Amino acid sequence: MPFGYHGCYLRIDASNGTVERLPIAETVLRQFIGGSGLGVRLLLDDGCADLDALHPRAPLIFAFSPLVGSSLTTSAKFAVVSKSPLTDRVNDALASSGFAVAGKNCGCDAIVIVGRAPELSVLIIDDGEVRLESAADVAGMTCQDTGARLRTRLGAPFRIAAIGPAGEKGVRYASISHDGRHAGRGGSGAVMGAKNIKAIAVRGTHRVEWAHPRDMTAISKDLSQRSFGPATAKYRELGTAGNLLTFNRFGALPTRNFQSGEFADAENLSVEQLSATREKTRDSCVACTIGCEHIYTIGGPHLRHGYGGHAGSGGGVRVEYESLFALGSLCGIGDADVVLRAVRRCDELGIDTISTGGTIAFAMECVERGWLDGPWLTFGSGGALLRAIELIGSREGLGDLLAEGSRRAAHAIGHGSIAIAPQVKGLEIPGYEPRALQTMALGFAVGARGADHNRSGAYEVDFSEKVDRRNVTLDAVRHAIDTEDRAALMDSLIVCKFLRGVFEDFHDAAATMLRSVTGWDVTAAELRDIATRIVATKREFNLLAGWTQAEDTLPDRFLTTPLPEDAAAELSRERLAALVAEYHRQRRW
Ligand code: SF4
C-alpha cells in the first residue's frame, strides 16, 4: 500500500447494514489520485450508469484524497460522487472540513453506499465498524440541527454530514451539508435521501503514514506562507462576493433570468455595502490558512413583511458570490436582507442556492410571459422568493414542480420554455453571463456535470488578455481545456482552487506535494496525463448514461438574443458549435 492511502474502500449496503472492505489497486490510486478522480473511477466500475440516479442500487460515494490529514493547507476536503438526479449524468460535489479527516481515519480511501435503509437512518462508521441507527428523532430537521443533535447523541469526536428536509423529500438539487459547508451541486442530497439516510457520522483513529514527513512539513510551511500573500488577498479580504460589482461592470452579472447582464441594484448586494451596514466575521475550513468565508448578520425586521417567518431574524450567513447572484440579481432582488435570509433558508433546507435561484428565476419569467399560473411569483419580490424556497423545500404546491429543476419544469410547462431555462444538461448556470464570457460559455456547454464554474475555470481566460471575451475564436479552446484539466486535478488531490494563484507552476508544485505524501516518483507531466484521464473517465460514464454531443450546448436564449445593453456580446449558434467541435477534436473524442 502506498503512503498517504489505506488502499481500500468500504462498500456499505444500507438495506441491511452489511459492509465489505475492498482493496483498491495501487495502479488505480496512482491513475486517479483521490477525491473526484477516485470517486468517478469507483462509480464507473460499479456498472450503474444506466440506473436511475435515485435507484437504491445506484451508489453514493464519499471519496477522500492522499493529502487529507496532512499539514498541507486547504487539503481537508472530500468529494461526493454519484449519478445526478438533476442531470442524469455524472456528479462530483466537494465539501470541506473535519468530515474529510475523520472519514479517512476510519481506515478507508472511500465509502461507497448502495441500497436503501428500511427506515430513515443515521449511518454510523465508527473506526471502520458500521451500523445503522434510527433517525426518527432528526426527521425533518435542518442540516444544522441534525448535526448538533447527533453530536450530542454520539459524542463530539463524530463528524456528521447530513441532509435537510429537502433531501428527504427528493428535491433534485438537494445538498449534503457538514459544518456549514455543502456538497451543493447536482443533487447528491437527494441520492442520500433516496437511500433513507439522513446523516452519516464518522470517527476514526487510523492515520496514514507519509512517505517523506520532513519534506512535507517544509512544503506545508512554504505553501502556508505563500497563502498569506497577494494571490489570495481577494478571498481573505472580501471573499468571493467581491466579484459582484466587477461582474456587473463587465455586463456579466446574470439578471432576471439572464435577460440582462447588469443589475441596477447591484450596489446593495456588494461586499462594500454589506460590510458598511452589518457586522461581519470570518471563518475558514479546517486546515486552511486563507479563510475566505465571510459571515454577515441579517439585520432588519423582515418578518413584518410576511416573508415566511421560518428563519427568524438575526444570526449570521456565509455569503458567496454565487448565492448573492442566484438569489439576488437573477431573481431581481436588490434587498440584501432578503437575499441573506434566502441563502440561510436554502442552507437550512439543504438545497443548492444556484439551482434554487435559477429555477425560481425561470419560473418568474414564465409567470411574466403567461406560461405559468402563479401571479405572486414576480421578479423583485422578496416575499415571493422566500415563499418559493419554502414550497420547494416541502415540495408543496408549485414547489413540487420547481423541486424538479428548471429543465424538467420547462418540459412540464411547455410553450417552448426550455429556450429560457437557464441550464446545461439540467444543471442551472452559475453567475457568469455566457454571452459576455464566451470561453466560459464553452466550459459550460461541454461540462460533464453540466454548467459549472468549479469544473471549468474558463472565466479566468475571459478576464485575461488571451481572448476577446465577447468574440472568442478557436484559440480559446485549448485554454478552456487547460482550466478543465487543472480543476480535475485540484479536485482529486484535493486542494482548494482559491490556492491556485500562489503556484508559479501548479503541476510541478502538485507533483512535489504528492511525492512527499506518497513516495511515488510522480512528475508534472504524469499529473497532466492523470487530469486528462479523469475528465475522460467522466465522459465515459456519461456515454454509458446516454450522453450525446447534442447535449454540449447552451439554451436557445444565449444563441439567438444578444445582451440588451451590449449588442456586441452575441454568441451565435454557429460560433458555439464550432468551439464545441474544436473542443472534441482537441480532446480526441
Ligand atoms: S480558501 Fe475558503 S473554501 Fe478554500 S479551504 Fe479555505 S476557507 Fe475553505
Per residue in 414-449, pLDDT (tens digit) is 999 999 999 999 999 999 999 999 999 999 999 999
**Is 285 touching ligand 1 by the criterion CB < 6 Å?**
yes
Rounded to whole angstroms, the Cα distance separating 193 from 171 reads 9
**Is 158 touching ligand 1 by the criterion CB < 6 Å?**
no
Rounded to whole angstroms, the Cα distance separating 95 from 60 reads 15
Confidence of residue 300 (pLDDT cuts 50, 70, 90): low
Rounded to whole angstroms, the Cα distance separating 101 from 70 reads 9
Residues recorded for the chain: 589
**Is 320 touching ligand 1 by the criterion CB < 6 Å?**
no
Give the pLDDT confidence score for residue 307 in this predicted structure: 36
**Average pLDDT of span 445-458:** 95
Q: What are the distances in angstroms from CA 86 to CA 41, 183, 188, 251?
A: 21, 14, 9, 29
Tell the residue nearest (CA) to atom 5 of ligand 1. Answer: 74
Local structure of 477: helix, strand or coil = helix
* Percentage with pLDDT > 90 across the chain: 94
Span from the CA of 426 to the centroid of ligand 1 (angstroms): 27
Rounded to whole angstroms, the Cα distance separating 209 from 215 reads 13
- Choice from 75, 94, 182, 498 to test ligand 1 binding pocket (greatest atom count within 8 A of CB): 498
Q: Helix, strand, coil: what percent of the chain each, to 5? A: 45, 15, 40
271 CB-near residues (< 8 Å, 6+ apart): 238, 239, 241, 242, 244, 294, 319
Span from the CA of 312 to the centroid of ligand 1 (angstroms): 28
**Is 96 touching ligand 1 by the criterion CB < 6 Å?**
yes
Rounded to whole angstroms, the Cα distance separating 525 from 361 reads 44
Going by their DSSP bridges, the two strands 129-134 and 280-283 should be labelled as unpaired
* Domain extent listing, the chain: 8-203, 228-428, 442-587
Residue with cell 477525491: 35
**Average pLDDT of span 380-387:** 98
The values of phi and psi at residue 75, to 5°, are: -90, -5
pLDDT per position as a tens digit, 466-512: 999 999 999 999 999 999 999 999 999 999 999 999 999 999 999 99
Give the pLDDT confidence score for residue 311 in this predicted structure: 36
Rounded to whole angstroms, the Cα distance separating 290 from 500 reads 12
* Element (DSSP H or E) covering residue 19: strand 18-23
Rounded to whole angstroms, the Cα distance separating 57 from 49 reads 11
pLDDT over 70 (residue 301): no
**Is 105 touching ligand 1 by the criterion CB < 6 Å?**
no
Going by their DSSP bridges, the two strands 197-203 and 280-283 should be labelled as unpaired
The values of phi and psi at residue 424, to 5°, are: -130, 125
- Choice from 74, 101, 283 to test ligand 1 binding pocket (greatest atom count within 8 A of CB): 74
Q: Which atom of ligand 1 is nearest to the CA of 284?
A: 7
**Is 291 touching ligand 1 by the criterion CB < 6 Å?**
yes
Confidence of residue 297 (pLDDT cuts 50, 70, 90): very high
Query: Could you tell me which of 395, 289, 276, 284 has the C-alpha nearest to residue 336?
Result: 276
Task: Supply 349's cell numbers.
Answer: 433546507
Span from the CA of 397 to the centroid of ligand 1 (angstroms): 37
Residue pair 313/345 in contact by the 8 Å Cβ criterion:
no
> Do the domains 442-587 and 8-203 match in fold?
no
pLDDT per position as a tens digit, 24-44: 999 999 999 999 999 999 999
Q: What is the dihedral of CA 234, 238, 239, 240, to 10 degrees?
A: -80
**Average pLDDT of span 95-111:** 97
Residue with cell 447534442: 550
Tell the residue nearest (CA) to atom 4 of ligand 1. Answer: 496
Give the pLDDT confidence score for residue 305 in this predicted structure: 38
Count of CB atoms situated within 10 Å of the CB of 289: 17
Give the pLDDT confidence score for residue 394 in this predicted structure: 97
**Average pLDDT of span 299-318:** 51
**Is 76 touching ligand 1 by the criterion CB < 6 Å?**
no
- In this structure, of 130-139, 229-238, 307-316, the range with the lowest mean pLDDT score is 307-316
Write the DSSP string, 85-153.
TTTSSEEEEEEESHHHHHHHTTT-SEEEEES--SSSEEEEEETTEEEEEE-GGGTT--HHHHHHHHHHH
Span from the CA of 96 to the centroid of ligand 1 (angstroms): 8
**Is 495 touching ligand 1 by the criterion CB < 6 Å?**
no
Task: Supply 49's cell numbers.
Answer: 450508469
Residue pair 52/158 in contact by the 8 Å Cβ criterion:
no
pLDDT per position as a tens digit, 276-286: 999 889 999 99
Q: Which atom of ligand 1 is nearest to the CA of 77?
A: 5
**Is 101 touching ligand 1 by the criterion CB < 6 Å?**
no
The values of phi and psi at residue 416, to 5°, are: 70, 20
Residue pair 82/62 in contact by the 8 Å Cβ criterion:
no
Confidence of residue 156 (pLDDT cuts 50, 70, 90): confident
**Average pLDDT of span 49-63:** 98
pLDDT over 60 (residue 47): yes
pLDDT over 90 (residue 208): yes
**Is 92 touching ligand 1 by the criterion CB < 6 Å?**
no
Span from the CA of 496 to the centroid of ligand 1 (angstroms): 6
In this structure, which CATH number among 1.10.599.10, 1.10.1040.10, 3.30.360.10, 3.90.105.10 belongs to the domain 442-587? 1.10.599.10
Tell the residue nearest (CA) to atom 7 of ligand 1. Answer: 284
**Is 24 touching ligand 1 by the criterion CB < 6 Å?**
no
Rounded to whole angstroms, the Cα distance separating 539 from 553 reads 15
Span from the CA of 236 to the centroid of ligand 1 (angstroms): 9
**Average pLDDT of span 565-569:** 90
Local structure of 84: helix, strand or coil = coil
Mean pLDDT of the chain, nearest integer: 95
**Is 100 touching ligand 1 by the criterion CB < 6 Å?**
no
Q: Which atom of ligand 1 is nearest to the CA of 289?
A: 6
Q: Which atom of ligand 1 is nearest to the CA of 498?
A: 1
- C-alpha 334: how far from chain center: 24
Span from the CA of 292 to the centroid of ligand 1 (angstroms): 5
Rounded to whole angstroms, the Cα distance separating 153 from 584 reads 52
Q: What is the dihedral of CA 370, 372, 377, 378, to 10 degrees?
A: -30
Query: Could you tell me which of 159, 89, 92 has the C-alpha nearest to residue 490?
Result: 92
Confidence of residue 230 (pLDDT cuts 50, 70, 90): very high
Q: Which atom of ligand 1 is nearest to the CA of 74?
A: 5
Q: Which atom of ligand 1 is nearest to the CA of 73?
A: 5
Give the pLDDT confidence score for residue 342 in this predicted structure: 98
Give the pLDDT confidence score for residue 1 in this predicted structure: 82
**Is 290 touching ligand 1 by the criterion CB < 6 Å?**
yes
Q: At what angle do helices 524-545 and 476-493 cross, to 10 degrees?
A: 90
Tell the residue nearest (CA) to atom 2 of ligand 1. Answer: 292
Q: What are the distances in angstroms from CA 74 to CA 291, 324, 399, 579?
A: 9, 24, 37, 34
Local structure of 13: helix, strand or coil = strand
**Is 359 touching ligand 1 by the criterion CB < 6 Å?**
no
Residue pair 208/69 in contact by the 8 Å Cβ criterion:
yes
In this structure, which CATH number among 3.30.200.210, 3.60.9.10, 1.10.1040.10, 3.30.200.20 belongs to the domain 8-203? 3.60.9.10
**Is 70 touching ligand 1 by the criterion CB < 6 Å?**
no
Confidence of residue 128 (pLDDT cuts 50, 70, 90): confident
Give the pLDDT confidence score for residue 279 in this predicted structure: 87
Span from the CA of 61 to the centroid of ligand 1 (angstroms): 22
Confidence of residue 306 (pLDDT cuts 50, 70, 90): very low
Confidence of residue 358 (pLDDT cuts 50, 70, 90): very high
191 CB-near residues (< 8 Å, 6+ apart): 53, 54, 58, 60, 82, 83, 85
Question: Is the previous residue joined to 113 through a cis bond, with omega within 30 degrees of 0?
Answer: no
Task: Supply 124's cell numbers.
Answer: 454510523
Domain 228-428 fold? 1.10.569
